[in-house]
């Protein structure tokens, strides 16, 4: 399986894990306040992935460096603190599957910011596919927005804020996608979780969960948040923020199905139509190929790589077997091949 196909698989699994977080978080909100719960979930995510990284030992990945601190701080504040707190506050006022839809505006914000400010791109076909996924998510939400527990304006506004926060986070994290995904997710989780828990203690809303609830928090934190973040970062490396987020937009479909199974939130017929649209759009994204003649300017950076057509550099010895990671320089190169907005292909495009 190629690196791009593996990236699609990683993002799809990330979407499944994150979709599962909505009904499970809704259960936890019955016992804890949003700020304290967000802190516990992210701290569990960070500690769990940090432990995994220690157990796996030194991997062929580039470590975080001092120059990454600005992007990392932005990702921690936007994605690790503002996003989850706004999400849980909004979910406390809406059904879980409606919350999943509205939080899914993350995709719109990510794509818009990526295209306007961060050098990303989508072809016309991929724009249509992304719009299909988002339209499907809208139908999913419309199918469950009525009836008892329907969202008031406060909940949707908070969830839109969460979408904007995660849109910023995704574009900040794209700048870190060449680093070790486990390390990025672990640092982000520990920092965001510790700060959120500190604020919860300061405001008198610190959680005190029962042992069974604490175990569920740990499972949701490590699986639905931690692993989801790490897989999402791995996808960003190969696919870019716009394409990764568009595929990740299938998570509301997962949330609806699990909300039905776990919480008894029965979806309407519109939900089935929305799910079909989301599947169709995601399939188009996965099958899309984009290729044209393009020029790589000189660049120097570090990330996990093998010696393909983009990596024809000399070695000083001690780099280890491929794949490996070390600082390397790219000389100017002009060629043509299928590609996405990965670390090496953030060039300008015409009307493609």
Q: pLDDT tens for residues 278-310?
A: 777 766 765 555 555 656 566 665 655 555 655
DSSP string, 24-57: HHHHHHTTS-HHHHHHHHHHHHHHHHHHHHHHH-
State how far the Cα of 250 lies from the Cα of 279, in Å rounded to an integer. 7
Q: Is residue 79 part of a domain?
A: yes
Rounded Cα gap, residues 218 and 34, in angstroms = 16
In this structure, is residue 72 part of a structural domain? Answer: yes
Confidence of residue 347 (pLDDT cuts 50, 70, 90): very low
Mapped onto helix, strand or coil, the DSSP state of residue 290 is: coil
Residue 39 lies in a domain: yes
pTM of the model: 0.69
Evaluate whether residue 345 is within a structural domain.
Answer: no
Is 242 within the bounds of a domain? yes
Distance CA 83, CA 155 (A): 14
Angle (CA) 80 85 236, round 5°: 35
What's the burial of 135, exposed, middle or buried (CB within 10 Å: 0-12/13-18/19+)? middle
Q: How far apart are CA 72 and CA 93, in angstroms?
A: 30
Asked whether the predicted pLDDT for residue 145 surpasses 60, the reply is no
327 within domain boundaries? no
Placement of tokens 């899914």 in the chain:
104
The count of structural domains within the chain is 1
CB 343 within 8 A of CB 120: no
Instruction: Say if residue 147's pLDDT is above 50.
Output: no
> Model confidence over 25-70: pLDDT tens digits?
888 988 888 889 999 999 999 999 999 888 875 566 677 888 889 9
Buried b (16+ CB within 10 A) or exposed e, 55-90: eeeebbbbebeeebeebbebbbbbbbbbbbbbbbbb
Tell whether omega for the bond before 323 is within 30 degrees of 0, i.e. cis. Answer: yes
**CA neighbor of 84 nearest in space, from 112, 45, 49:** 45
Residue at 114 is within a domain:
yes
**Residue of 89, 85, 251 whose CA lies nearest to 155:** 89
Highest mean pLDDT: which of 95-109, 122-136, 218-232?
A: 218-232
Domain around 234: 3-291
Beta bridge partners of 300: 329
Question: 316 lies in a domain?
Answer: no
């Amino acid at each position: 399986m190629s690196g791009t196909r593996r990236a699609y698989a990683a993002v799809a699994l990330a979407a499944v894990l994150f979709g599962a977080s909505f009904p499970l978080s809704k259960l936890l909100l019955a016992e804890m306040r949003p700020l304290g719960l967000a802190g516990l979930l992210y701290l569990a995510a960070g500690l769990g992935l940090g432990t995994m990284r220690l157990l796996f030992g030194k991997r062929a990945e580039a470590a975080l460096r001092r120059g990454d601190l600005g992007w990392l701080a932005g990702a921690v504040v936007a994605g690790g603190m503002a996003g989850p707190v706004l999400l849980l506050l909004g979910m406390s006022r809406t059904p879980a599957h409606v919350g999943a839809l509205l939080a899914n505006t993350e995709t719109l914000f990510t794509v818009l910011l990526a295209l306007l400010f961060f050098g990303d791109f989508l072809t016309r076909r991929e724009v249509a596919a992304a719009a299909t996924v988002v339209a499907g998510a809208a139908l999913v939400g419309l199918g469950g927005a009525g009836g008892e527990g329907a969202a008031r304006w406060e909940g949707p506004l908070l969830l839109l804020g969460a979408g904007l926060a995660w849109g910023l986070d995704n574009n900040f994290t794209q700048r870190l996608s060449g680093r070790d995904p486990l390390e990025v997710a672990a640092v982000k989780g520990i920092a965001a979780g510790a700060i959120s828990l500190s604020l919860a203690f300061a405001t008198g809303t610190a959680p005190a969960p029962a042992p069974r609830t604490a175990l569920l928090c740990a499972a949701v934190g490590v699986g639905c948040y931690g692993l989801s973040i790490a897989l999402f970062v791995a996808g960003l490396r190969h696919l870019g923020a716009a394409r990764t987020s568009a595929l990740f937009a299938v998570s509301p479909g997962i949330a609806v199905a699990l909300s039905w199974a776990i919480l008894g939130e029965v979806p309407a017929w519109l939900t089935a139509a929305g799910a079909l649209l989301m599947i169709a759009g995601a399939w188009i994204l996965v099958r899309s190929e984009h290729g044209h003649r393009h020029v790589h300017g000189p660049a120097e950076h570090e990330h996990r790589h093998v010696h393909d057509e983009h990596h024809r550099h000399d070695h000083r010895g001690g780099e280890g077997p491929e794949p490996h990671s070390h600082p390397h320089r790219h000389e100017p190169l002009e060629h043509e091949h299928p590609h996405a907005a990965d670390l090496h292909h953030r060039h300008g495009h015409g009307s493609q």
